Homo-oligomer: A and B are copies of this chain.
Amino acid sequence: MYGVQLSTGYGAPVVDQARRAPLNRDRVLAAAVGLADAGGIESLSMRRLAQELGVVPMALYKHVSDKDALLDGMVDAVLGEIEPVTPGSDWRTAVQQRVLSARRAVLRHPWARKAIESRTSRSPVVLDHMEALAAAFRAGGFSADLTHHVLHTLGNRIWGFSPELFDAPHDPAAPVPSPAEQEVRSAEFGRRFPTVLEIAVTATRGDLGAVGGGCDEQFEFEFALDLLLDAFDRLREQGWSSAADPRRGGA
């Protein structure tokens, strides 16, 4: 609409500032990541993205086959931020480095968790990450068999996150209940879910209403990761094999 006719007639325009640099897949992905970083994944639409890039929505389809491909590309972009492991590390540090680096990348982009969970792609970037992790285990003396099951057990933790079990994001628009009402609710809650309450009290060290009163996700993550790595190590030492596993009908 606006810049279109600036370059018609009268030879080449002297300053062509009105002409955008041509789009390409990377610019599209970068803009999409930026938009999602700023407004959450659900605020990302092809139309808004196009607007952001000063372009008509259909222009995007020359660089990205559809919205699914866009999301795949965005996930790849985030996962591309994972740093390579310092060479010569033992298997345990290698795995930890890689996984914790993935975690940092994912935490930089709050929408990435959801996006990763919703994808079922095995792009080269994804496979690179898996390859690196698998190779670390193999080099550390894990059998291919054990490595396979160990990766399954790590599950989404290889992407640097575990599910948010308890933290419901606090809705700031929710009406603040009166103290009396709060009292009643807590009492009811405690009657019906005494153990959950006990745990919540323990986790928050007593002040349930604390502002950031969720769990320490970083601690939980590292706790689980170490627990798993210890358990894996034990299996490796024992020479575990699925063929000999009772679940598989083994000895």
A42 to chain B, nearest CB (A): 11
Tell yes or no: A227 within 8 A of B by CB.
yes
A250 to chain B, nearest CB (A): 12
Tell yes or no: A92 within 8 A of B by CB.
no
Cross-chain contact A134 with B231 (CB below 8 angstroms): no
**A247 to B221 alpha-carbon distance, docked (Å):** 11
**CB-CB < 8 A to A90: which residues of B?**
none
**A46 to B203 alpha-carbon distance, docked (Å):** 40
Query: Given the known A-B contacts A152-B162, A163-B155, A227-B231, are A219 and B198 also in contact in the complex, defined by CB atoms under 8 Å?
Result: no
* Chain B CB within 10 A, most for which of A134, A148, A192, A201: A148
Cross-chain contact A247 with B220 (CB below 8 angstroms): no
Cross-chain contact B120 with A169 (CB below 8 angstroms): yes
Indicate how many identical chains form the complex.
2
Cross-chain contact A127 with B193 (CB below 8 angstroms): yes
A92 to chain B, nearest CB (A): 15
Which of B117, B147, B215, B228 is A117 in contact with, Cβ under 8 Å?
B117
Tell yes or no: A66 within 8 A of B by CB.
no
A110 to chain B, nearest CB (A): 13
Main secondary structure on A side of the interface with B: helix
**CB-CB < 8 A to A20: which residues of B?**
none
Cross-chain contact B131 with A224 (CB below 8 angstroms): no
**CB-CB < 8 A to A121: which residues of B?**
168
Q: Which residues of A contact B (CB under 8 A)?
A: 114, 117-118, 120-122, 124, 127-128, 130-131, 134-135, 138, 144-145, 147-149, 151-153, 155-156, 158, 162-166, 168-169, 192-196, 198-199, 201-203, 215, 219-220, 222-224, 226-228, 230-231, 235, 242, 245, 247-248
Knowing that A145-B202, A148-B199 are A-B contacts, what are 5 other residue pairs whose CB atoms are under 8 Å apart, sorted by A's residue number? A152-B224, A155-B156, A219-B248, A228-B228, A228-B231
16 A-B residue pairs with Cβ-Cβ distance under 8 Å, sorted by A, are: A122-B168, A131-B193, A138-B198, A144-B198, A147-B199, A148-B199, A148-B202, A151-B165, A152-B215, A152-B224, A153-B162, A153-B227, A155-B162, A155-B224, A219-B247, A227-B228
